[in-house]
Amino acid sequence: MSPRMTPSNPIKLFAFGPGFGLPEVSPFCTKTEVHLKMAGLPYRKEKAMPDMSPKGQLPYIEDRGRLIADSHFIRAHIEKKYGVDLDEGLSAAERAQAWAIERMLENHFNWASGYARWMIPANFEAGPAHFFDDAPAHIRDQLRKDTLAKVARRYFEVGMTRHSADEILDLGDRSLLALSALLGDKPYLMGEQPTGVDATMFGMMAGILTPFFESPLRRRAESYPNLVAYTDRMMRQYYPEHAWAPALAA
């Protein structure tokens, strides 16, 4: 997995930055950051907001003046440009499984997990509401309200908030059960070595397990010892400097 070429200038990674008990608040930015670490590529992280990105979402990177947005396309770029294969050692069928797991995490689990962060009012107040702390005082509250309304609309359009809170919890737990069974007693999702999908899995698991947000889905996640141990292992490996909640390390 070592890169054959390294960039002469560090890649710039635009992300939210640390917060909510996490080394990076966004699971997608975490995924990209871990991919860069896995690839052994030097990078510099800069704080950004989604409206600065070419696709209106974080993460995006700048590599020698070229902007690339979206965690999937960033991965594709670094693999191609720097001759890295983050799925090295996997068969075609295993690569297909890794892709399917990633889609479940990003296109299903993320909605159940994000619901806990954005749609439980106390969590919104403690967390995402603070994204606007630096906005001018006279528009700050309106920005918070508008953003929450936009996010709530999205959760409804994607279908998640057409379900009751208990049903959303069941959906999220169904993915946790699947992930726990897929991981089993292996150190990483696809076996003995970390591969690309572990970056996605880790970002999502850390995002739900952080003790910063109280939620029924977090409590369910905590009831899967292998998922808790996996998240702790990945945290120690990729963010050794981060003080991750010791209770979760048990």
Question: Which of 40, 42, 54, 56 touches ligand GSH (CB under 6 A)?
Answer: 56
Question: Which of 24, 26, 169, 202 touches ligand GSH (CB under 6 A)?
Answer: 26
* Closer residue to ligand GSH (CB): 56 or 211: 56
Q: Is 123 in the site for ligand GSH (CB under 6 A)?
A: no
Q: Is 72 in the site for ligand GSH (CB under 6 A)?
A: yes
Q: Helix, strand, coil proportions of the chain in percent (round to 5)?
A: 60, 10, 30
Name the minimum Å distance from CB 185 to ligand GSH: 29
Q: Is 30 in the site for ligand GSH (CB under 6 A)?
A: no
Name the minimum Å distance from CB 193 to ligand GSH: 23
Q: Reply yes or no: is the peptide bond before residue 59 cis, omega within 30 of 0.
A: yes
The footprint of ligand GSH on this chain (CB under 6 A) covers a number of residues equal to 10
Question: Which of 28, 82, 109, 188 touches ligand GSH (CB under 6 A)?
Answer: 28
Tokens of residue 206, six digits: 């850390």
Q: CA 20 to CA 35: how far, in whole Å? A: 21
Q: Which is nearest to 57 in space by CA: 198, 176, 154, 160?
A: 154
22: which strand partners?
Answer: 19
CA angle 95-235-208, nearest 5°? 80
* Contact positions vs ligand GSH (CB under 6 A): 26, 28, 50, 56-59, 70-72
